Amino acid sequence: MTASPQTHRPGGWVLDRRGLGRGVRVTHHPELGVVNLSVWRESTCVGTVHLTGAATAQLIGALSTELAQLGAAPSPTVGLVALEERITALERRRPAWRRAIDRVTGPRRTPLPPPPYPLHVVR
C-alpha cells in the first residue's frame, strides 16, 4: 500500500539509522483498542502490526531488556584500549635486530628513549 505519511493520523516516528527512507511509525487506534506499528520505506508502508495493550506492554518489556543488554555489551573502546596497550608494549620491546646485535656485542648501555608521542589511554 502506498500512502503519504502525512495523510494518516499523528503518531511517533523512529527512523532507521541506515537511512534510505526506512522507519517505523507508531499510531494508536482507540476505536480498535490497538497500537499500530507500521514499517515504511520512503512513502510506502511495507507492513503493519496491530498490538493490544498487553502485547504493547510485552513489546516494551522486550525492548527494555534488549536495550539493557546493549548497554551491558562491551564498548568498542575497551577493545581499542587493549590494542593500544599491546602496541605500546610492543613498541617498548627491543627490536629483534637490536637483540641480535646485543647477543654478539653485549647489552646496550643506554636505555631506549620513550616513544616520540604521548600515550593516552581512555577508559
Domain boundaries, the chain: 5-72, 74-123
Q: Which residue blocks in 32-75 are alpha helix, DSSP H?
A: 53-72
| Spatial CA neighbour of 25 closest among 57, 3, 53 | 3
Q: What is the DSSP letter of 105?
A: H
| Spatial CA neighbour of 44 closest among 25, 17, 18 | 25
From first to last of the 123 residues of the chain, give the pLDDT tens digit: 444 444 455 678 888 887 778 899 999 999 999 999 999 988 889 999 999 999 999 999 998 988 888 777 666 666 777 777 787 777 677 777 777 777 787 766 666 566 665 655 555
pTM (2 d.p.): 0.50
Q: Is the distance from CB of 60 to CB of 21 less than 8 angstroms? A: no
Q: Which three cell numbers stand for residue 62?
A: 522486550
**What sign has the CA pseudo-torsion 46, 8, 26, 31?**
negative
